[in-house]
């Protein structure tokens, strides 16, 4: 017998008799090591390695894992690990970790290869294609609704109106008022340098009515309602509720998306109008207090600045943003996976997409309306 | 006999997420029969069910309901076919924003011209059939797991279907509740003549309700046995026998030991 590694008591000891080896484990086990056990260099394929567990005082899962790794390394070398002298419990645990096949079942891999023809793999549709398809389906559903052939329930629209509208109003009012105040200060500071404080009201009115009331409403609804739409629909999808509709032949777009979209389009003009008024009113104390504009001048200038063009452009843009928010929320919800994690991901994606779409639409519409001369 | 089979599955291959999970499925379900689809978790039972109810397009083969292809045909024909079966999903899939009553009435209002009062009356009756008297105004979130499953069964029955698809009705329930649900399925078959296709991995359910059992093998990726549970237990392939023995060994777990108060 030739000892390869000494240091008995701490290290496992490899010894060989002819081609076969004995591995003596130290009393405290091999301990926990990051490194895999080095195999003796002259261990040949076909060798048997007997583990001598006699000195072992105790064993734990770490030893089992160590032996499992050793057995794998030996198997790759073409050698085999024999564990007969190990404690019975340890042997049983190691046996459990061995891959086994049911005696009666043919090797699964062979069967799989024989029985399954390769499935032609189509390319998964891109996110953009999914979005376009979704918009198309919504348009078709809208068409069916306009022709009075939709499965949409009016009660659902009313319920969504209730959920989205009144409860969004306070926060829309607050955020629009703060924006109006900010506009007044910013406008006042700049206009004051050329002595044109009187036009402060123009900045606030046009800014709020034409651009910012709609945008703030869109942003608030993206966070408050778009995310909720995504979470509702994604949860319904995870709970197979959408499948339960489809099995009945009910189009989820008509039944779930349309009421949400229409409800949000219904509340949008109201919210935008209230938001614009709140912004203009909030600019008033700033104009009077900080820039010496009189109350009469402020409101007079407001009314003069407020043209029908600004009004309809502001409402149009705001409605567009809100529609995009509703669509982003519903799209993400319906496209979600079937897990709790997917619900969270859909909610986040709905808000991010909603905001991104709002900004893109704001930019696009501003360029278009400005170049058209409105 | 072929002409009288209510559901015919011919050379069906099913896929989930682009992966083919089962293929070469050929079987028929006779009227009034309870066919149980069994197999280990992940063998494709629920995927097969999703194909049988028309939620997924098969990779190959056909599903015929009373001789009509479930995946081909115009929307009106498909709608007429869909009316003839009810589906109970694994997690119940009750529409969470509606009361139980509304859950049951939605299919009726979509597919029948019944007046609202009649829909409500039928919904209350169906709820009573599954032991949920007085549950009409409850929201799904207010129900226990067992009640939710029974409510889902009631909704599947809303349109008096000829054929009932049940996806793991007993999963997630304690044994008495699961047995009660099995018993309920047998009652419905007996009193309403409903044909049942049920997916399960609860072996006690197989022996309790199945006229015939279809075994899907996860390795062979096809059906490896079809017959009465006793036949399969005695003469089936080894994998099937092993699977069934796990449930048959502690034998006396029949539903009769849990008598229902109302029927």
| Lowest mean pLDDT across A164-178, A214-228, B69-83, B94-108 | B69-83
Whether A252 and A168 share a structural domain: yes
Tell me whether residues B55 and A241 touch, CB distance under 8 A.
no
pLDDT at B218: 83
Tell me whether residues B89 and A105 touch, CB distance under 8 A.
no
How many separate domains does chain A show? 2
Whether A141 and A80 share a structural domain: no
Residues of chain A with C-beta less than 8 angstroms from the C-beta of B110: 151, 248-250
Whether A174 and A227 share a structural domain: yes
Whether A171 and A61 share a structural domain: no
pLDDT at B179: 87
Instruction: Please state, in angstroms and rounded to a whole number, the distance separating the CA atoms of residues A40 and A92.
Output: 26
What is the CATH architecture of B32-54+84-257? Answer: 3-Layer(aba) Sandwich (3.40)
> Most B CBs within 10 Å: which of A232, A239, A251, as the mutation test of the B interface?
A239
| Mean pLDDT confidence for B200-211 | 87
CB distance A16 to A44 below 8 Å = no
Kindly tell me if the per-residue pLDDT of B196 is higher than 80: yes
Angle B145-156/B175-192 helices, nearest 10 degrees?
20
What is the pLDDT confidence band of residue A108, given thresholds at 50, 70 and 90? very low
| Lowest mean pLDDT across A84-98, A195-209, A336-350, B108-122 | A84-98
Whether A69 and A137 share a structural domain: no
Whether A39 and A151 share a structural domain: no
| A120 within domain boundaries | no
Residue with tokens 């808000």: A351
- The dihedral over CA atoms of B5, B7, B10, B14, expressed in degrees to the nearest 10, equals -160
Q: Would you give the distance in Å from CA A260 to the centre of its chain?
A: 21
| A112 within domain boundaries | no
Whether A350 and A259 share a structural domain: yes
Q: Which B residues 100-159 touch A at CB under 8 Å? A: 106-107, 110-111, 155
What is the pLDDT confidence band of residue B258, given thresholds at 50, 70 and 90? very low
- Please tell me which of A270-284, B45-59, B127-141, B226-240 the model is most confident about, judged by mean pLDDT: A270-284
Greater confidence (A233 vs B57) lies with: A233
| A108 within domain boundaries | no
* pLDDT digit string, tens, across residues B28-76: 999 889 999 988 888 888 889 999 998 888 888 889 998 888 888 787 7
| A122 within domain boundaries | no
| A102 within domain boundaries | no
Question: What's the pTM value of the predicted model, to 2 decimals?
Answer: 0.73
| Mean pLDDT confidence for B192-202 | 88
The Cα-based distances of A41 to A18, A45, B252 in angstroms read 14, 11, 60
pLDDT at B238: 85
User: Could you say which of B59, B93, B219 has the minimum Cβ distance to residue A105?
Assistant: B219
| Lowest mean pLDDT across A49-58, A250-259, B160-169, B213-222 | A49-58
Residue A6: HSE in the Cβ half-sphere, 13 Å Cα cutoff: 0
Domain with A47 in it: 2-97
**Chain A residue with the nearest C-alpha to that of B84:** A248
Q: Which of A97, A113, A137 is the last residue of a domain?
A: A97
Instruction: Please state, in angstroms and rounded to a whole number, the distance separating the CA atoms of residues A327 and A350.
Output: 9
What is the pLDDT confidence band of residue A41, given thresholds at 50, 70 and 90? confident
CB distance B25 to B48 below 8 Å = yes
Instruction: Please state, in angstroms and rounded to a whole number, the distance separating the CA atoms of residues A12 and A8.
Output: 7
pLDDT at A33: 57
Whether A305 and A346 share a structural domain: yes
Whether A139 and A82 share a structural domain: no
Instruction: Please state, in angstroms and rounded to a whole number, the distance separating the CA atoms of residues B96 and B92.
Output: 10
What is the pLDDT confidence band of residue A371, given thresholds at 50, 70 and 90? very high
One DSSP character per residue, B92-153 reads B---TTS-HHHHHHHHHHHH----HHHHHHHHHHHHHHTT-TT-TT--GGGS-HHHHHHHHH
Whether A157 and A261 share a structural domain: yes
pLDDT at B257: 40
Tell me whether residues A235 and B55 touch, CB distance under 8 A.
no
| A340 within domain boundaries | yes
| A300 within domain boundaries | yes
| A310 within domain boundaries | yes
State the CB neighbour count (10 A cutoff) for residue A340: 11
Whether A249 and A138 share a structural domain: yes
| Lowest mean pLDDT across A50-64, A122-136, A200-214, B175-189 | A50-64
pLDDT at A32: 56
pLDDT at B253: 40
One DSSP character per residue, A104-165 reads SSPPHHHHHHHH-PPPP-PPPPPHHHHHHHHHHHHHHHHHHHHTT-----HHHHHHHHHHHT
pLDDT at A358: 96
| Lowest mean pLDDT across A213-222, B24-33, B166-175 | B166-175
Contact residues, chain A to chain B, C-beta under 8 Å: 102-106, 108, 111-112, 115-116, 119, 121-122, 151, 159, 232, 235-236, 239-241, 243-250
* pLDDT digit string, tens, across residues B120-134: 888 888 888 888 888
pLDDT at A105: 46
Whether A66 and A136 share a structural domain: no
Instruction: Please state, in angstroms and rounded to a whole number, the distance separating the CA atoms of residues B44 and B16.
Output: 8
ipTM above 0.85, yes or no: no
CA distance A336 to chain B (A): 14
pLDDT at A296: 92
* Average pLDDT taken over every residue of chain A: 85
User: Could you say which of B82, B90, B222 has the minimum Cβ distance to residue A248?
Assistant: B82
* The pair of three-digit structure tokens given for residue B13, joined into one six-digit string: 């291959």
Phi, then psi, of A205 in degrees rounded to 5: -65, -55
pLDDT at A54: 79
Kindly tell me if the per-residue pLDDT of A314 is higher than 80: yes
CB distance B258 to B181 below 8 Å = no
């Amino acid at each position: 017998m030739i000892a390869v590694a000494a240091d008995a008591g701490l290290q496992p000891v490899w010894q060989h008799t002819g081609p076969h080896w004995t591995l003596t484990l130290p009393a405290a086990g091999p301990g926990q090591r990051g490194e895999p056990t080095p195999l003796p260099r002259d261990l040949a394929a076909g060798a048997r390695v007997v583990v001598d567990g006699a000195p072992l005082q105790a064993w734990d899962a770490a030893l089992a894992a160590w032996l499992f790794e050793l057995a794998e390394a030996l198997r790759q070398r073409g050698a085999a690990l024999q564990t007969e002298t190990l404690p019975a419990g340890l042997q049983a645990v190691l046996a459990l970790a061995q891959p086994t096949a049911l005696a009666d079942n043919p090797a699964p891999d062979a069967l799989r290869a024989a029985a399954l023809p390769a499935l032609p793999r189509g390319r998964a549709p891109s996110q953009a294609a999914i979005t376009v398809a979704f918009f198309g389906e919504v348009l078709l559903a809208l068409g069916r609704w306009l022709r009075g052939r939709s499965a949409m329930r009016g009660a659902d629209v009313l319920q969504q109106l209730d959920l989205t509208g009144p409860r969004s109003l306070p926060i829309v009012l607050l955020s629009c008022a703060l924006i109006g105040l900010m506009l007044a200060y910013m406008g006042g500071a700049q206009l004051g340098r050329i002595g044109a404080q009187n036009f402060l009201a123009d900045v606030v009115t046009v800014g709020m009515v034409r651009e910012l009331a709609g945008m703030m409403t869109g942003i608030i609804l993206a966070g408050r309602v778009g995310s909720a739409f995504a979470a509702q629909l994604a949860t319904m999808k995870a709970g197979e509720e959408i499948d339960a509709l489809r099995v009945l032949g009910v189009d989820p777009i008509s039944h779930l998306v349309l009421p949400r979209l229409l409800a949000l389009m219904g509340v949008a003009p109201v919210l935008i109008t209230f938001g614009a008024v709140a912004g203009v009113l909030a600019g008033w104390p700033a104009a009077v207090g900080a820039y010496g504009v009189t109350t009469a001048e402020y409101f007079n200038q407001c009314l003069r600045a407020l043209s029908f063009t600004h009004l309809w452009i502001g409402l149009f843009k705001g409605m567009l943003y809100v529609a995009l928010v509703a669509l982003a929320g519903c799209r993400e919800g319906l496209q979600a996976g079937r897990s709790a994690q997917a619900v969270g991901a859909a909610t986040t994606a709905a808000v991010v997409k909603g905001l991104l779409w709002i900004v893109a639409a704001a930019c696009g519409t501003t360029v278009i309306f400005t170049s058209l001369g409105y | 006999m072929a002409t009288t089979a209510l559901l015919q599955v011919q050379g069906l291959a099913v896929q989930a997420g682009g992966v083919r999970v089962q293929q070469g499925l050929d079987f028929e379900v006779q009227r009034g029969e309870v066919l149980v689809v069994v197999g280990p978790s992940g063998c494709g039972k629920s995927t097969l069910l999703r194909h049988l109810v028309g939620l997924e397009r098969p990779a190959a083969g056909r599903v015929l309901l009373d001789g009509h292809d479930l995946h081909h045909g115009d929307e009106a024909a498909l709608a007429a076919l869909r009316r003839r079966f009810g589906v109970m999903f694994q997690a119940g899939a009750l529409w969470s924003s509606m009361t139980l009553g509304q859950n049951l009435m939605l299919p009726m209002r979509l597919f029948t011209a019944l007046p609202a009062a009649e829909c409500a009356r039928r919904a209350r009756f169906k709820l009573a059939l599954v032991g949920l008297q007085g549950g009409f105004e409850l929201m799904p979130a207010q129900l226990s797991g067992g009640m939710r499953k029974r409510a889902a069964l009631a909704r599947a029955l809303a349109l008096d279907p000829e054929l009932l698809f049940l996806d793991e009705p007993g999963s997630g329930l304690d044994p008495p509740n699961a047995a009660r649900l099995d018993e309920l399925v047998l009652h419905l078959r007996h009193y309403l003549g409903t044909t049942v296709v049920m997916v399960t991995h609860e072996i006690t359910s197989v022996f309790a309700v199945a006229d015939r059992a279809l075994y899907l093998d996860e390795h062979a990726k096809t059906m490896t046995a079809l017959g009465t549970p006793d036949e399969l237990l005695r003469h089936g392939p080894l994998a099937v026998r092993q699977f069934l023995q796990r449930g048959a060994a502690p034998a006396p777990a029949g539903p009769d030991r849990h008598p229902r108060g109302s029927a």
